[in-house]
């Protein structure tokens, strides 16, 4: 349509150039024709945001979640358990239950010894301790009486790792005719039970649990009284 108007305009200009004597009425007629042509031309629609084609939405697709599950700050237990560090503690209810050796070098677990007795007197001593040495003959004699009651005595030598201490201890026991079991006492027992003086005497049941009152110092008669008291409460 615009091309047609342009052509008519061109013709009009040529006609005007050819005949400058054209009347005003003729020119007005041509002008009216041009205006009618412009009026007939439809306006091109203007696209708005509302008229724009909307994008297709996939109704089957769910909304995409931007949230992620919270990270767990907790870690679960490892599938394979870590092996505990090896210690010289054996099975039993207290730090007195240990894997150790007798004064003759034989491997032994004190928990196994305790399990054979209703109650056991555990006497911690040292070869260089005069009071410790002085009560050993009485402990040797007491052991027989305790055995008759299903109980016993175990000596724990704190200087058994020293060759000289071990030698002296064996000589002391031999001279005293004491035959109850004596074992080497490691430092772990001293630390665990906070033993600061010798002799120190403990009492344990058949499971190695501490029983009765711990005695510090020489007191053989009190040891026997404690065992009898424990037996009376069974």
Rg over CA atoms, the chain: 56
Which pLDDT score is estimated for 73?
28
> For residue range 67-76, what is the model confidence (pLDDT) as tens digits?
333 333 232 3
User: Does residue 89 register a pLDDT over 50?
Assistant: no
C-beta separation of 202 from 96 below 8 A: yes
User: Does residue 122 register a pLDDT over 80?
Assistant: yes
> Would residue 202 count as lying in a domain?
yes
User: Does residue 232 register a pLDDT over 80?
Assistant: yes
User: Does residue 203 register a pLDDT over 80?
Assistant: yes
Residue 198 or residue 27, greater confidence: 198
Is residue 19 located within the same domain as residue 105?
A: no
Q: How many domains does the chain have?
A: 2
CA–CA separation, 115 vs 221, rounded Å?
24
Residue 32 or residue 93, greater confidence: 93
Is residue 114 located within the same domain as residue 26?
A: no
Beta strand 152-157 pairing with 119-125: parallel
CA–CA separation, 200 vs 177, rounded Å?
21
Residue 11 sits in which domain range?
Answer: 2-40
Which pLDDT score is estimated for 35?
56
Mean pLDDT for all residues in the chain: 75
Which pLDDT score is estimated for 29?
57
Is residue 216 located within the same domain as residue 107?
A: yes
Share of the chain above pLDDT 70, in %: 61
Q: Sign of the C-alpha dihedral, residues 116, 118, 124, 129?
A: negative
Q: Which contiguous run of DSSP H or E holds residue 125?
A: strand 119-125
Q: Is 132 exposed, middle or buried (0-12, 13-18, 19+ CB in 10 A)?
A: buried
Confidence of residue 230 (pLDDT cuts 50, 70, 90): very high
For residue 142, the domain's CATH number is 3.40.30.10
User: Does residue 46 register a pLDDT over 80?
Assistant: no
The residue-averaged pLDDT of 21-33 equals: 50
Is residue 30 located within the same domain as residue 113?
A: no
The residue-averaged pLDDT of 156-184 equals: 97
The residue-averaged pLDDT of 127-151 equals: 97
Confidence of residue 93 (pLDDT cuts 50, 70, 90): confident
Q: Can you give the pTM of this predicted structure?
A: 0.62
CA–CA separation, 132 vs 135, rounded Å?
6
């Amino acid at each position: 349509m615009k091309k047609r108007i342009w052509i008519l305009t061109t013709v009009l200009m040529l006609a005007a150039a050819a005949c400058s004597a054209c009347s005003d009425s003729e020119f007005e007629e041509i002008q009216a024709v041009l205006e009618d042509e412009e009026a007939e031309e439809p306006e091109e629609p203007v696209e708005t945001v509302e008229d724009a084609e909307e994008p297709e939405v996939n109704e089957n697709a769910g909304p995409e979640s931007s949230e992620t599950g919270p990270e767990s700050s907790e870690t679960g237990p490892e599938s394979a358990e870590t092996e505990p560090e090896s210690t010289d503690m054996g099975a039993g209810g207290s730090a007195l239950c240990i894997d150790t050796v007798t004064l003759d070098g034989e491997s032994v677990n004190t928990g196994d010894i305790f399990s054979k007795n209703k109650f056991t007197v555990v006497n911690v001593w040292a070869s260089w301790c005069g009071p410790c040495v002085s009560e050993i003959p009485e402990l040797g004699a007491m052991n027989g009486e305790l055995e008759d009651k299903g109980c016993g005595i175990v000596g724990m030598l704190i200087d058994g790792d020293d060759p000289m201490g071990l030698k002296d201890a064996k000589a002391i026991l031999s001279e005293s005719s004491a035959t109850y079991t004596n074992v080497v006492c490691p430092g772990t027992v001293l630390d665990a039970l906070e033993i600061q003086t010798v002799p120190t005497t403990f009492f344990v049941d058949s499971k190695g649990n501490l029983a009765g009152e711990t005695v510090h110092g020489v007191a053989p008669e009190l040891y026997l009284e404690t065992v009898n008291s424990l037996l009376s409460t069974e």
